[in-house]
Amino acid sequence: MTNEELDALVVWLDELPCCHDGPHETSARCKSCEKTVADAITALRAIPAVQPSPDVAALVEAMVTIRCAILEALRSSSDMDYCLNLSGLAARTDLPRETLRGIIADMRAEGLVSHHKGLWSEEGTPGGAGYAITDDGRAALARVKGGDA
C-alpha cells in the first residue's frame, strides 16, 4: 500500500459514522466506535508503505482499460435506452463472458453498473436481464477519460 493509498484510507475511516443510535456529546461517534476507528488507523499506520512494482502497475492499467471498455459499451447502449447482457458485452468488448461475469460483479458492488431483469426486445419479446451504466459509472468513465463521458 502506498502512502497516498494509506492516507486516503485513513481519511475514509475517520469519516465513518457511529454504528450505534443516539446522540453523542463530543463527536459523531460513541466512545466505542471512536476507539475502534482509532485502533484501525493505528494498525494501518504500522503497515510499511510499499511501492507497486511495474508488473502490478501494468495489471492495474490493464484492468482500468478493461473496465473502461465495459463502461463505454454500456454508455453507448444506454444512450439508446438499452441494457446489455453478458453476450452483448462480450460482442462489444471482445472479452469472454466468464471474464466479464466477475468484473461486472465487482463493478455492480461499486455502483458503476446496475442489473435489470424482465427486459423486452424492440419486437416485444422477452429479452431477459442485462446491465446498464449508472451515474457513478458515467462519472468514473469521465474521470478516466479526462472529460465528459
pLDDT of residue 79: 66
Give pLDDT, residue 103: 94
C-alpha radius of gyration, the chain, whole number: 20
The DSSP-derived string for 33-45 is: HHHHHHHHHHHHH
Cβ burial of 44 (10 Å; 0-12, 13-18, 19+) is middle
pLDDT at 139: 93
Residue 20 is predicted with a pLDDT of 66
Note the Cα 58 to chain centre separation in Å.
Answer: 19
Q: What is the pLDDT along the chain (149 residues), one digit of tens a residue?
A: 667 777 777 777 777 777 666 555 556 667 777 778 788 878 877 777 666 666 777 888 889 999 999 999 999 887 667 889 999 899 999 999 999 999 999 999 999 999 999 887 777 788 788 999 999 999 999 998 886 54
Cell of 134: 449508472
Nearest by Cα to 78 from 92, 65, 64, 66: 92
pLDDT on residue 24: 55
Contact yes or no for 92/85 (Cβ under 8 A): no
pLDDT at residue number 27: 61
Return the pLDDT at 118: 83
